[in-house]
Each structure stands twice: as structure tokens, then as C-alpha cells.
Amino acid sequence: EKEAMVIDGGFTRADALRIAANVLDSGKELKTIYVSQADPDYYFGVETLKEIFPKADVVTTPAVLEKINAKLATKLSFWGPKMGANAPRTPVLPKALSGNTLTVDGQVVEIRGTTGLLAHRPYAYIPSIKAVVGNIGVFGNMHVWTADTQSAAERAAWVAQLDEIAALQPTLVVPGHMQAGTKIDASTLTFTKAYLQTFEKNLAATKNSAELIQAMKQSYPQLTEGAMSLDIGAKVNKGEMKW
């Protein structure tokens, strides 16, 4: 095993340096940096990685690249001042893949979920180890971010994607966001699906975001992380905030 692939470059320059340290310690050659999602916490760190590994290819799917380009200026203007020295100076954008597979030392990494309503939210599947990674739609033991899925059709497509992933019977599932210590297995799929179904029910049964937030907190009293996600998601999906 001589090759390495990094899935997502991290948010900050510090994130990217920690990722780079792992690659350097492995002694392997970084061949590919795959950006799985269009949110800045998945690609802002790529600039730093490319400084350290200039020969690595940076790639993503066409739909993700389209979303990155559409949101880049806004994300930079919002996050740049908040991040300071930890922000990218000149973000490195990925190139669009022409197919749906990547390889590492001959092992195939399949990029799935590249069509339909959620084409911009694909996931990677590694058949040799039955692993699912690089998916923003899987959460672990925290409130789920729903502000980017503002229609019932999108949320239904999200649930369908979770079912599709579960049907692969993966032994390893790395959530896009999770509370520290979460088991990285198929239980995160079950958690996320149940949360979305509960959100849909409470969304229909409440009059405003305050009631929706309270209902979700009552449904999930054990969740201590993701309060901002719940707050924004409730306001957006109740039409009280634009996102």
C-alpha cells in the first residue's frame, strides 16, 4: 500500500494541517483529494493541503462543483473575517470527475447518489471494506441540519438516500457531522432517518419555529449538540428566515 486519498480537506488551515500530518506519518503518496460536499467545511482546507501535496489531484462531482461555484463568494465574505488567519487565502477548487469511481492502490471507491434532487449531496462507498464516507446527510447524536432541505420532496429524497445506504449493509459509516464518541456504524443511518421523520411530523403539527424547536427538544432531550442547526432549520422551514 503506497497510495493515499483524502476525503474532504477540512474547514480551517489548522484542520488541513492535522490531516496533512496523518498523511505524512503514513509514509504514503497522496494521490487524490476528493471533495464530497459543497459546504466550506469540506473544501476550505484544500488550499493548505495542495501547498504540502502539490501533485495531488483535487476532484469532486459536477453537481458539487456547481454548488461550490455558486456559493463561494458568499461563503468567503461570511467566514473569512470570522476565521482570520485560519481562513483560506485563495481557495483551491476541485475539478469535475468524468466518472463515478476513484481508486487507491487498485481498490475502488464508488461515488454514489449523483443524480436526482440530491445530486449535490453524494456519498462515497468503498466495497472492499463496506464503508460509507463523505456524506453530509448522515448525522451522529446531534440535531440534524435541515436548512438546506426546504421542501418535503427534498427531505423525502434524503430519507430514500439513507435507505439506499442502509441497503448496502455497511460495517463502517462515517457521519458528515457527529458528536464526539459516536459509533461510526449503521446506527447513524437509523438515527438520522428517525430524526427526519420526527422533524417532518413536528413541522406539520406546530405553528411557528419556537413551537417546532420545543417539540424537537422534547423528542430528543438527550441531544446536547447542534442547537444552532435546530434553531436555523426550524426558522427556515417555517418561512421565518431565508437561507
Residues 80 and 142 in one domain: no
Q: What is the pLDDT of residues 4-25, one digit of tens each?
A: 999 999 999 999 999 999 999 9
Task: Choose the final residue of a domain: 75, 100, 125.
Answer: 100
Q: Would 189 be classed as within a structural domain?
A: yes
Q: Please tell me the total count of domains within the chain.
A: 2
pTM: 0.93
User: What angle (nearest 5°) sits at the alpha carbon of residue 65, between those of residues 110 and 3?
Assistant: 45
Domain boundary among 100, 122, 151: 100
Residue 127 lies in a domain: no
Structural domain for 169, as ranges: 137-243
Among 100, 127, 161, the domain-final residue is: 100
What confidence category does residue 104 fall into, taking pLDDT thresholds of 50, 70 and 90?
very high
Across 79-105, average pLDDT: 97
CATH number at residue 7: 3.60.15.10
Tell me if residue 104 falls in helix, strand or coil.
strand
Give yes or no: residues 91 and 22 share one domain. Answer: yes
Convert the pLDDT of each residue in 110-131 to its tens digit: 999 999 999 999 999 999 999 9
94 and 144 part of one domain: no
Is 212:198 a contact under the CB 8 Å cutoff? Answer: no
Residues 156 and 227 grouped into a single domain = yes
